[in-house]
Amino acid sequence: PSPRSFQPNGASEEALRCEIEELKQKDLALDQEIAQLLSEGYSLEELDKHISLLHEYNEIKDAGQMLLGKLAVIRGVTTKQLYPEYDLELSD
């Protein structure tokens, strides 16, 4: 059970109303951002493609980080110590 389930109904309902309002505001902000990008000449298909590529990049990066971490454990060093060996920047 979540902590909210122990709150009085009024408090729980108020928390839900606040959460709904926050989500509505985020939805509005995203709609405005999409409208801005469309007005700058981007298409929805192009935006979808960029999002898809970003997801793919992040999955590949996560896999690389995992492998780097396992290699660091095997060698008994920190991941940070392996970065220069593979010409990686700490921001990578």
Model confidence over 16-66: pLDDT tens digits?
999 999 999 999 999 999 899 889 988 888 888 989 999 999 999 999 999
Model confidence at 2: pLDDT above 60: no
Position 38 scores a pLDDT of 87
pLDDT at residue 89, as a whole number: 87
Q: Cβ(79)–Cβ(72) under 8 Å?
A: yes
**CA 90, CA 86: separation in Å to the nearest integer?**
11
| DSSP conformational letter for 84 | G
Query: What pLDDT, on the 0 to 100 scale, is given for residue 36?
Result: 92
Residue 7 banded pLDDT, cuts 50, 70, 90: low
CA distance 56 to 17: 36
State the Cα–Cα distance between residues 24 and 41, nearest whole angstrom.
26
Using one digit for the tens of pLDDT, what is the confidence trace for 78-92? 999 999 998 988 876
